[in-house]
């Protein structure tokens, strides 16, 4: 329950500042100033925009399918927000710790496709319909490499529970399994035990070095899932005006934007949890200099909560920053290039990685 | 009333009402969306019965996969041909007769079967379902069935590609 309240407020506040960051970063990349007038450094620009959006008239096109049109933004946001229900924020705080956590997350997030279809179809507009079609084709295609790269992690961690996956990547591994050990690069034959060294050495991305490529696939696919550039043909401004949400205004439009940024955050959290150690500290214990112990509290203590939340949130926000950076750096892909990338490169690559992770798991035991 | 019961009845209501809506609605697209609600309601009931894995598989496969393709199909045909796709009612008499008869047979069979006292129900572990056990069982005791289903799905995939690819004529520049 507390996790629900926390994540709801966190997503709302984060979105305000993510939109601001998006404007400032794009301005920096394009050698402009970005928002300057409202508040110091334009910090209140998004707040002002939000106030404007809330006051705007809720316009519904005359020929639209009104029931479907009205309910679509709610479905998009609900399905994205439902994904937050299983995220572990710290060692002892977070959403539900169900045994099928990551499986649930991937299933429930894929429901936002329904909302997008409803929005596109209900608008009764060519732009919206085309945008929705593209969006759905893209999301369904990229779910496959995304799912396979997640399977790589599951094969190594032998668990679908997100909290358990995080525990395995740090110095508190023995609090869930007293006999568990971590080795450098996960290879037991090397004989260098890192169980009590922790830090970045036990993160999945370092524990199993080829996971870097798995993360690359995960990251590319997650950009496509969130309809972000360079995979933003569903909302390509130059062709489709705004894609599936072209007819929306006011609060409903704000909901759609909220779910887009919420999706970015969710997928960043997920990447941090699966590959970058979740709430574990990046600093290792080096002999007497116990950096890992100093920068992470025991699970359940206040220090544990604060350090855990700090590390996980900073990792997630850095990933969001990376997404924004990429959006303003790369041009968008053409539809056929998009499908080629997913089906001819990412999916076969992810299948090979699944095989490699099965073999690597043999080295770890 | 405990909160679990309230949630259970809410999901029950969602399932029942949306199933009724599928029957009564003339608009085939609304029916498809109502079917999504039915499946989600059923997934909720599965969760409350302790079958977490089945519930999520239900959402992933039926709602996330099959139904979205269905809605996609309806939408494409509907908007492009400009004709309204509506369901009409045929054979009212036999329809009602068969459905009532089927309902009677099922209800009677379930009542007579007395599931709660069956041997395999009594021997079933009372602990919540474990994904690990399920995986172990699939990869050992039921591996043959698992592999056969895999081959079946592969065949279906190849067939679909063959049917779709046959009618497609690509220009030389289309990569």
Inter-chain residue contact A68 with B33, CB threshold 8 Å: yes
3.40.718.10, 3.30.365.10, 3.50.50.60, 1.20.120.1200: CATH of B3-129: 1.20.120.1200
Q: Quote the ipTM score.
A: 0.77
* Short-list A57, A61, A69, A63, CA closest to A251: A57
pLDDT value, residue B72: 74
CA–CA separation, A151 and A214 (whole Å): 10
Stretch B165-174: mean pLDDT:
57
Inter-chain residue contact B68 with A103, CB threshold 8 Å: no
For chain B, what is the total number of helices (H) and then of strands (E)? 8, 0
pLDDT value, residue B171: 54
Interface contact A117, partner B, CB < 8 A: yes
Q: How confident is the model at residue B84 (pLDDT cuts 50, 70, 90)?
A: low
What ranges do the domains of chain A cover? 2-364
* Short-list A48, A163, A55, A19, CA closest to A102: A163
CA–CA separation, A128 and A117 (whole Å): 9
What is the greatest pairwise CA distance in chain A?
72
Chain segment B104-144, per-residue pLDDT in tens: 999 998 888 777 777 776 666 655 567 788 888 888 889 99
- Show contacts of A184-188: CB within 8 Å, 24+ apart: A185/A209, A186/A156, A186/A360, A186/A363, A186/A364, A187/A363, A187/A364, A188/A363, A188/A364, A188/A365
* A positions 4-23 inside 8 Å of B (CB): none
The three-class DSSP label of residue A169 is: coil
pLDDT value, residue B167: 60
Nearest CA in chain B to A121: B75
The three-class DSSP label of residue B18 is: helix
* B positions 42-71 inside 8 Å of A (CB): 52-53, 56-57, 59-60, 63-64, 67-68, 71
- Give the ranges where chain A is alpha helix by DSSP (H): 2-29, 45-55, 66-82, 101-109, 112-122, 126-157, 162-167, 204-207, 211-225, 237-240, 250-274, 291-294, 302-327, 335-340, 347-364
Interface contact B130, partner A, CB < 8 A: yes
Inter-chain residue contact A99 with B131, CB threshold 8 Å: yes
* Short-list B64, B65, B79, CA closest to B28: B79
What is chain B's mean pLDDT, rounded? 81
Residue A11 has, within 13 A of its CA and on its CB side, a CA count of 27
Inter-chain residue contact A111 with B59, CB threshold 8 Å: yes
Q: CB atoms < 10 A from the CB of B109, how many? A: 9
Report residue A170 as tokens.
């740090």
pLDDT value, residue B175: 45
pLDDT value, residue A192: 77
Nearest CA in chain B to A159: B132
pLDDT value, residue B122: 67
From chain B, pick out residues whose CB is under 8 angstroms from the CB of A129.
Answer: 75, 79
Chain segment A107-140, per-residue pLDDT in tens: 888 888 888 888 888 888 888 888 888 888 888 8
If residue B4 lies in a helix (H) or strand (E), which one and from where to where?
A: helix B3-24
DSSP string computed for A86-124: G-B-SSS-BS---TTHHHHHHHHHTTHHHHHHHHHHHTT
Q: What residues in chain A have per-residue pLDDT under 70?
A: 234, 236-240
If residue A286 lies in a helix (H) or strand (E), which one and from where to where?
A: strand A285-286
Residues in chain B: 175
CA–CA separation, A238 and A260 (whole Å): 19
DSSP string computed for A3-54: HHHHHHHHHHHHHHHHHHHHHHHHHHHTT---S-SSSGGGTTHHHHHHHHHH
pLDDT value, residue B102: 94
Cα-flanking dihedrals φ and ψ of residue A290, to 5°?
-85, 70
């Amino acid at each position: 329950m507390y996790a629900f309240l926390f994540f709801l407020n966190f997503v709302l506040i984060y979105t305000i500042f993510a939109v601001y960051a998006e404007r400032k970063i794009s301005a920096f990349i394009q050698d402009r100033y970005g928002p300057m007038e409202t508040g110091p450094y334009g910090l209140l620009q998004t707040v002002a925009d939000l106030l404007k959006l809330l006051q705007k008239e809720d316009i519904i096109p005359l020929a639209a399918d009104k029931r479907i049109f009205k309910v679509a933004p709610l479905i998009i946001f609900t399905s994205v927000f439902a994904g937050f229900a299983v995220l572990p924020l710290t060692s002892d705080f977070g959403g539900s710790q169900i045994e099928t956590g990551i499986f649930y997350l991937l299933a429930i997030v894929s429901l936002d496709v329904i909302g997008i279809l409803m929005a596109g179809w209900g608008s009764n507009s060519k732009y919206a319909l085309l945008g929705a079609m593209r969006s759905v084709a893209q999301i369904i295609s990229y779910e496959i490499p995304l799912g396979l790269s997640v399977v790589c992690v599951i094969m190594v961690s032998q668990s679908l529970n997100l909290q358990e996956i995080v525990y395995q990547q740090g110095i508190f591994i023995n609090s869930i399994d007293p006999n568990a050990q971590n080795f450098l690069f996960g290879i037991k034959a090397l004989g260098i035990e890192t169980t009590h060294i922790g830090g970045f050495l036990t993160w999945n991305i370092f524990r199993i070095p080829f996971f870097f490529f798995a993360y690359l696939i995960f990251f590319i696919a997650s950009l496509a899932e969130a309809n972000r550039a360079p995979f933003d043909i569903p909302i390509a401004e130059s062709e489709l005006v705004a894609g599936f949400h072209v007819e929306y205004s006011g609060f409903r439009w704000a909901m759609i934007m909220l779910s887009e940024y919420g999706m970015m955050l969710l997928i960043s959290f997920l990447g941090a949890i699966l590959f970058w150690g979740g709430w574990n500290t990046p600093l290792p214990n080096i002999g007497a200099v116990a950096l890992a112990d100093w920068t992470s509290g025991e699970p359940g203590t206040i220090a544990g909560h604060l350090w855990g939340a700090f590390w996980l949130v900073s990792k997630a926000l850095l990933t969001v920053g990376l997404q924004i950076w990429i959006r303003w750096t790369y041009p968008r892909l053409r539809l056929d290039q998009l499908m080629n990338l997913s089906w001819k490169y990412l999916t076969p690559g992810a299948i090979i990685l699944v095989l490699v992770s099965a073999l690597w798991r043999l080295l770890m035991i | 009333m405990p909160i679990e019961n309230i949630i259970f009845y809410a999901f029950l209501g969602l399932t029942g009402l949306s199933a009724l809506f599928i029957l009564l609605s003339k608009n085939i697209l609304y029916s498809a969306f109502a079917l999504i609600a039915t499946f989600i309601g059923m997934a909720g009931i599965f969760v409350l019965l302790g079958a977490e894995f089945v519930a999520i598989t239900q959402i992933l496969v039926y709602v996330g996969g099959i139904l979205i393709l269905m809605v996609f199909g309806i939408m494409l045909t509907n908007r492009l041909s400009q004709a309204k796709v509506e369901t009409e009612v045929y054979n009212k008499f036999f329809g009602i007769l068969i459905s009532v008869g089927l309902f009677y047979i099922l209800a009677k069979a379930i009542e007579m079967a007395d599931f709660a006292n069956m041997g395999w129900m009594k021997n079933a572990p009372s602990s919540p379902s474990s994904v690990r056990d399920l995986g172990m069982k699939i990869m050992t005791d039921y591996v043959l069935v698992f592999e056969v289903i895999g081959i079946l799905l592969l065949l279906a995939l190849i067939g679909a590609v063959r049917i779709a690819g046959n009618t497609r004529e690509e220009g030389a520049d289309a990569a």
